[in-house]
A = this chain, B = another copy of it.
Amino acid sequence: METDRNEVAPLLERQASRLLAQVAQMVTRHTAAALETLGANRNEFAVLATLDGFGPDSQAGLSRRTNIDRSDMVAALAGLEAAGHVVRQVDANDRRRNVVQLTDAGRAHLAQLAAALDQAQAEAFAPLSGSELDQLQAMLLRLRDRHGGL
């Protein structure tokens, strides 16, 4: 082993996009691991949180709100339903739709996941002070919203 220092080439060091991707990967991994110990993944958490926040919805509606692809939503809901965390039933008013609903078990599960995520996130962002984290979040929100259409 000869080269293992942390120096980065000048041209690379200037790439905020690369840095952003690296940090996002680290943080994502950390939070995904926390969810995985509870048998869940990020999509499932997003679905549960959205059902909790907005009430029952169709799969297509959930896809739009969570930005999860309709195709991946099928898989996420299959897992959640098998675990008894949600129930799906055909909408009587529009029989194309499945109305997805949180169960009590799902709500309890969500509480566990949220607690685990809060902790994992506190760890991941530990190097930042509270106000710095607020600043970071505000900047990220502006990047997401203003530049929403890529």
Contacts and interface: CB of A to CB of B under 8 A. Distances in A.
Interface residues of A, number: 71
B57 A11 contact: no
A30 B23 CA distance: 17
Interface of A: 1-12, 14-31, 42, 46, 49-50, 52-54, 57-58, 60-61, 64-67, 110, 114, 117-118, 120-121, 124-128, 132-133, 135-137, 139-147, 150
Tell me which of A52, A142, A144 has the highest count of chain B C-beta atoms within 10 A of its own C-beta. Answer: A144
27 contacts: A1-B60, A2-B58, A3-B60, A7-B54, A7-B65, A8-B65, A9-B50, A9-B54, A11-B49, A11-B53, A11-B114, A12-B53, A15-B117, A16-B121, A16-B133, A17-B28, A18-B42, A19-B141, A19-B144, A21-B27, A26-B147, A29-B150, A30-B150, A127-B142, A128-B142, A132-B139, A135-B135
